[in-house]
Amino acid sequence: MPGDARLPACSTAPFRAAEFRSREEFETYFRENERLMADRWLREQSLASRSDRVVLDGTCGLCLEEAEFTSHTEGGEATAAGRVPNWREGMMCSCDRRLINRQRALLHYVLDTGALEPWMRVLGLGDMAAMEPVLQTCSARLVSGPGALLQAGRERDGLKNPNYHLILSADQLTKATAVKDLFAMLRRILVGGGQFVFTAAFDPRAAPGEAAGPDRPCDWSLIPQLLDGGFANAKACLYWSEEFGYLGPGNFIFAAQAA
Ligand SMILES: [Zn+2]
């Protein structure tokens, strides 16, 4: 946010993630890291609580200040020791930005990987309200909110070249919408080499060929759909860090580059 000295020049701590370009790569990683996956799960289960919230200490990945991450137990998984919060939708940071796990991670990812630089023009799709202050500080131009995609399409039609460097989408895609036609449209409003980075409800174990219901989470088919839509280097990044407040078994960020 303007004047916020704690977001130093849009730089952050390294964002660590395991990257997969197919279901096979993911399954192999899971088999080879079975112990790590089990340890993470046990740690998360051990935090089950009968109180209404779980508060954990850590470090905000955006401002690198000590922080508290607050997760509500309501609606979480029931265990004998209480409820385990939905970590992905929780772990709200105590810093001014008040971002939850997946929102903070999405910004942490684009800042650390260079997908977002201060000179870039950014299109934000989905509910970006909580992330807008950071994006406005760390980009030259941000178009987001209802109608953002329509506006970008109109701009595209009026220009010789597509003009966004980064498209961010926050939990908007489903299996039914994460298809080639949409990706091809997004590709057209990006500069060559620009990136499309998003979070989405995702089921890494969905049976191949399952029908696309309206609210069905995305599955691994989105990788070939991205490639067919004109993107390269399409990948799923699995992240987990207790220090940065990224608990949860299914923390994925997807990224693809305009070919
Ligand atoms: Zn924070």
**DSSP 8-state secondary structure symbol assigned to residue 61:** T
Q: At what angle do helices 34-46 and 23-32 cross, to 10 degrees?
A: 80
Give pLDDT, residue 7.
55
> Whose CA is closest to 246, among 124, 115, 36, 103?
103
Residue 132: CB partners within 8 Å, gap ≥ 6?
124, 142, 144
Q: What is the pTM of this model?
A: 0.93
Give pLDDT, residue 31.
97
**Cα of 65 to ligand 1 centre, how many Å?**
7
The domain locations on the chain are 117-258
Give pLDDT, residue 162.
60
**Cα of 38 to ligand 1 centre, how many Å?**
28
**Cα of 60 to ligand 1 centre, how many Å?**
4
Q: Are strands 53-59 and 66-72 parallel, antiparallel or unpaired?
A: antiparallel
Give pLDDT, residue 160.
62
Residue 94 contacts residue 113 (beta carbons within 8 Å): no
**Cα of 56 to ligand 1 centre, how many Å?**
13
Please, where are the H alpha helices in 1-131?
23-32, 34-46, 101-113
Structural element, H or E, at residue 155: helix 148-158
Question: How far, CA to CA in Å, does 203 sit from each of 51, 187, 188?
Answer: 29, 24, 28
d(CA 5, CA 8): 6
pLDDT digit string, tens, across residues 10-21: 667 899 999 999
Q: First vs last Cα of the chain: how many Å apart?
A: 32
**Cα of 95 to ligand 1 centre, how many Å?**
4
Q: Which residues surround ligand 1, an ion (CB under 5 A)?
A: 60, 93, 95
Give pLDDT, residue 152.
84
Residue segments in the chain with a per-residue pLDDT below the cut of 50? 1-3, 5-6, 8
DSSP per-residue string spanning 207-225:
PTT----TTPPB-TTHHHH
117-258 belongs to CATH 3.40.50.150: yes
